Structure 1
Amino acid sequence: MHTIHRVWALCLSLILAACATTQGPSVGAPPTDGIQATAVDAYRIGVDDQVQVSVWRNPELGITVPVRPDGMISVPLVGDVLAGGRTPPEVAKDIQEKLSAYVRDPQVAVILTQLRSHEYLSRVRVTGAVRQPVSIPYRPGMTVLDAILAAGGPTEFAASDRSELHRRAGGTSATYEIKLDRILNRGDLATNHPVAPGDVITVPERTF
């Protein structure tokens, strides 16, 4: 069981990034340890998201399907299982319990392979003193610099080194400072944080 969970968490790390759980501002980088598990626990599967169901040692029971408009997926032997509005671990547990009537000690993993719903959670936004405020699709490996460049960079009125990354999940939030001027003009990538789905980057204007 532990092996399946580790494989499942590793695969999900390629699909989802995470949301920090500490409140208040932080001058350090967003934490990375445990981020994927936090994101998975917080994410509720939506209609048209694509999920992969794997049953250890029973590959014939595995499927990769989109979630239907009624929120259901069809699983071999089990039939329809509710996925919409639930987290991957919840769906895996449900399938596992139902499969136990047919398979001895089933070990089930549910993996999100494509995010097609939850528009807010799947995008990164850049606002404030940038040339073109944008809302862009998240992709694995995206950083603050990628998002800022997509927004055309800061304007001449920007207080670039007072930029911030805001991350929110499950009612908790965290804010991380971004030394944007140092990133763009000095090549100092210390605050070029990896971004996560739902992050908001704000670039304030200078006060005169």
Structure 2
Amino acid sequence: MGKIAASAMVVLMVAAGCSRVATLPEVRVGEVHDAPAYRIGPLDNITIFVWRNPELSTSVPVRPDGRISVPLLEDVQAADKTPTELARELESELDVFIQNPLVTVIVTGFSGTFEQQIRVVGQAQQPRSIPFRANMTMLDVMIAVGGLTPFANGNRATLVRVVDGQQKEFRVRLGRLIQDGHIDANVAMLPGDIVIIPETFF
């Protein structure tokens, strides 16, 4: 009961700050959204390769404070930077110690920044945050969270999205999409989206 009550409270808190429910258009070919440049987030894992300096190359996790520890350098801020931006900064810092450093940064474990995640709350099998990726749709999100619970009212689910700086609600029919197999109920996702799945009240 505690878990159900907590989920209901989350739904009420998020819905309270949103405008009236609207309907999103279905996904059509060519209308899905490309991902913005990926920005490193806390808890990502990254590999740093320093050309001709294997002793400086390393694989490190990004700490919760957004920083990493690398050889020769003190803590370096990594979160909210693209891999290329971080590589250029490391080159600048390492230039004090080695001549003409060439650095490549590769993200090997993805979590992403808060703004790049999609959050699913309520009656999903595995409610959680997932990283946004290019061309992601609601069906992809539902697969990632394991679908709906037996208690979900999927056809009254809500997608919360920021549009022109304002938080808005859109009705999404997850039951029609997942249980009935109607692909016309699919919608394109954007970074920062929140999916709220209410419980069926008998």
Which TM bucket (shorter chain)? 0.5 to 0.7
**Structure 2 counterpart of 1:94:** 89
Alignment check: 8 A CA contact 1:99 1:106 kept: no
> Following TM superposition, by how much is the alpha carbon of 1:72 offset from its aligned partner in structure 2, in angstroms?
4.3
Q: Which consecutive residues of structure 2, in runs of 5 or more, have no partner in the other structure?
A: 1-21
> Following TM superposition, by how much is the alpha carbon of 1:69 offset from its aligned partner in structure 2, in angstroms?
7.2
Superposed CA RMSD in Å reads 4.5
Deviations 1:142-197 (A, max 9, x none): 72433675440564xx471x53333459x676766533232134312344457677
Deviations 1:17-76 (A, max 9, x none): xxxxxxx9742448332x151xx24x5x33x54322234x44714211124577543334
**Distance change (3 Å), C-alpha of 1:25 and 1:173:** farther
Quote the Cα distance in structure 1 between the aligned partners of 2:64 and 2:154: 46
Alignment check: 8 A CA contact 1:52 1:110 kept: yes
> Following TM superposition, by how much is the alpha carbon of 1:105 offset from its aligned partner in structure 2, in angstroms?
6.2
**Structure 2 counterpart of 1:124:** 119
Would you say 1:138 and 2:130 are equivalent positions?
A: yes
> TM-score under structure 1 normalisation?
0.53
**Structure 2 counterpart of 1:18:** none
Deviations 1:85-124 (A, max 9, x none): 5424443231021234424362432525254x97897673
**Distance change (3 Å), C-alpha of 1:184 and 1:75:** closer
Instruction: Decide which of 91, 105, 111 is 2:107's aligned counterpart.
Output: 111
The amino acid that maps onto 2:130 is: Y
Q: Which consecutive residues of structure 1, in runs of 5 or more, have no partner in the other structure?
A: 1-23
**Structure 1 counterpart of 2:68:** 73
Aligned length: 167
> TM-score under structure 2 normalisation?
0.54
Alignment check: 8 A CA contact 1:124 1:147 kept: no
Alignment check: 8 A CA contact 2:160 2:169 kept: yes
Q: Percent identity?
A: 22
